[in-house]
Chain A
Amino acid sequence: MRNPFVRYLIQKISWYILAFFVAVSLNFILPRLIPGNPVSVIVNQMATGGVQSDVLERLYSTYMKEFGLDKPLYIQYFNYLRNIFRWNLGTSFMLYPGKVKDLIGRALPWTISLQVPAILSGWIIGNLLGAFSAYKGGKFDSVAFTLSLVFSNIPYYCLAIVFLYLLAVRFGLFPVGGGYSFGIVPTLSLKFIADAIYHYILPYLSMVLVAIGGQAIGMREMSLYELTSDYVNYAKNLGVRDERIIRYVFRNAMLPQITGLAISFGTMMGGALVTESVFSYPGVGSLLFTAIRQSDYPLIQGCTLIITIAVLTANFLVEIAYGFIDPRIRAVQLGER
């Protein structure tokens, strides 16, 4: 415990564990507030579809057992926690007897490979653009700023819909959706990868442009603050070269932007999920879209759980990285202060 870095780490980890438990508890309790017994609601829905009665009975007992709805609430809660730690997320309603964990396991790689590159590259390009336009000023600044303002305020899914319509439906430059073409088996062949990239471009573009705009605005503002600060004036009067000053400014303005990266993982999530369903991209977003339409509660809960885990993990990694990058925190960690 005397090592300051370990202390920093433990403090951060305990916050994230707390947040995780709050999220998991909400995930447990909120769907149970739905009036009526969700199992009988679902079974009744299926009954109108003309399923045989013995099948219905089997369904009913499966779900009653899985939810443990006949037991007191706290036992249900502990069962729920135990199942999560065993990665047992239950059985889907709509794709009975498909397991939720398998459905999510199939969708997750698509979502990660779409969102992580889009968020990271949008963040990097946006910061460079923002810093440059703050420094440059004049025409470049006003054009870049206005464009960023416009793009950052178009919701992802709106840009996605416009792109899908114009570039795919109207001009046929890109496929109209999906992660890969029909009739191609997902393997690691060159043909499949090329096809997947072809389907990747539009969803990626519609997310990255918005991300660039948002980050550029934040970075520009931070840089403007730094550019008018005393140390910059002082350095200028000392005759320090411009490039050097920009480097100082960039490093200082960059710090809050790293927190901004952590935030974007959380805030972009909603829009990104909808973007996926616009393109019928085979990720968690499209899965959630269908699950909500079908009132498939186990699948919805599985999706919200995986989203929580993904966002918390991303935030945690960024915060640990921040601890390394910020000289103030680093100094404390190394015991220099």
Chain B
Amino acid sequence: MKDILILLFRSKRFIVGFVLFLGILSFALIGPMLNPKNPFQMVGGLFSPPSDRFILGTDNLGRDVFTQLMYGTRTSLLIGCTAGVIATTIGVTIGSVAGYKGGIVEEVLMGITNVFITIPSIVILILLSIAIKARSAIVMGLVIGVTAWPWTARAVRAQTSSLKTREHIDIARITGFSSIEMIIYEILPYMFSYIFMAFILQFSGGILNEATLSMLGLGPFQTVSLGVMLHWSLLWEAVRTGAWWAFIPPVICLSITTFSLMSMNSGMDEVFNPRLRRS
């Protein structure tokens, strides 16, 4: 474990991603603690530009953009993380069971997976969001998670199938492990790094999906997220009226967050797949 950490921190890409992500995380977690204002409170004039009183100005209803940004980033991270956990859990479960069991179980599970890979996930996301009226941040994370798992399932199945042929698996089987024990103790630990990387990808995908849905007007209710801020900017024409402070900050936060996650992912890829390392 310690070796891996040392290796990870030798990868420049991982360090850059990690530092950026820590920055975003502390902004979203510590910010609201130091600045416990209500992001929905109308405190100033319409679209007032940044000033001493409002660091990032106010939006179309005179609400403080900087406060919104802190709470919005927090919501987006929460939704992304929930979606990532759900999607990774479902994907790993289906993929490892399909890969380990083989036969008809594998055919059925992979059949379902392939159908859901083929159907564009944005369609299911839109339909699910419309059907669920009480969309809190957690519910949105769940919705995004249950539509995002197929890629992870497919990848984990491939890994499991190849791991299955190793010798330690045969030995464990002789000692009488059940299928579930086999998967938990003998298969999953060998692809821990892989699963963690899949989680990071899903995390970042979840944040992007949240933004897409919110911008279409299907965001969380009574909560501000980065996507909701962008939706407001579109709806109230902040872009065309030139109120840059209402939409550039969420754009930057969104981009930094996804960039930091992808950068960490790519750094980990370098460490765990030595073939990608350039000597």
Contacts and interface: CB of A to CB of B under 8 A. Distances in A.
Interface of B is mostly: helix
B251 A162 contact: yes
B26 interface: no
B242 A304 contact: no
B124 A26 contact: yes
A19 B120 contact: no
18 contacts: A26-B123, A32-B131, A150-B259, A152-B262, A154-B258, A157-B212, A165-B248, A169-B240, A221-B269, A266-B118, A270-B209, A274-B215, A289-B217, A289-B234, A293-B235, A304-B123, A307-B120, A311-B119
Interface in B117-170: 118-128, 130-133
B278 interface: yes
A33 B131 contact: yes
A56 B278 CA distance: 70
Given A158-B251, A289-B216, A292-B218, A31 B131 contact: yes
B133 A34 contact: yes
Contact of B133 (A22, A35, A176): A35
Nearest to A21: B115
A154 B260 CA distance: 11
B239 A277 contact: no
A124 interface: no
Contact of A153 (B120, B217, B233, B258): B258
Given A153-B262, A277-B234, A292-B216, A19 B115 contact: yes
Given A34-B133, A311-B120, A161 B212 contact: no
A59 interface: no
A34 B128 CA distance: 10
User: Which 8 A-B residue pairings sit nearest by Cβ, starting from the closest?
Assistant: A270-B122, A30-B127, A33-B131, A19-B118, A311-B120, A153-B259, A30-B131, A292-B217
A321 B49 CA distance: 53
B121 A266 contact: yes
A225 B278 CA distance: 11
B244 interface: yes
A137 interface: yes
Contacts of B133: 34-35
A165 B251 CA distance: 12
Most buried by B among A155, A221, A307, A315: A155
A35 B134 CA distance: 11
A266 B205 CA distance: 14
B21 interface: no
A308 B262 contact: no
Interface in A176-218: 176-177, 217
Interface residues of B, number: 49
A100 interface: no
Contact of B263 (A15, A30, A149, A292): A149
A308 B120 contact: yes
Contact of A165 (B218, B244, B263): B244
B28 to A, nearest CB: 18
A30 B147 CA distance: 14
B81 interface: no
A153 B255 CA distance: 7
A307 B269 CA distance: 34
Contacts of B211: 155, 157
A278 B239 contact: yes
Contacts of B119: 19, 22-23, 26, 308, 311-312
A271 B211 CA distance: 9
A176 B240 contact: yes
Interface in A1-46: 15-16, 18-19, 22-23, 26-27, 30-35
B216 A273 contact: yes
Interface in B225-253: 230, 233-235, 239-240, 242, 244, 247-248, 251
B2 interface: no
A39 to B, nearest CB: 15
Contacts of A15: 114-115, 118
A48 interface: no
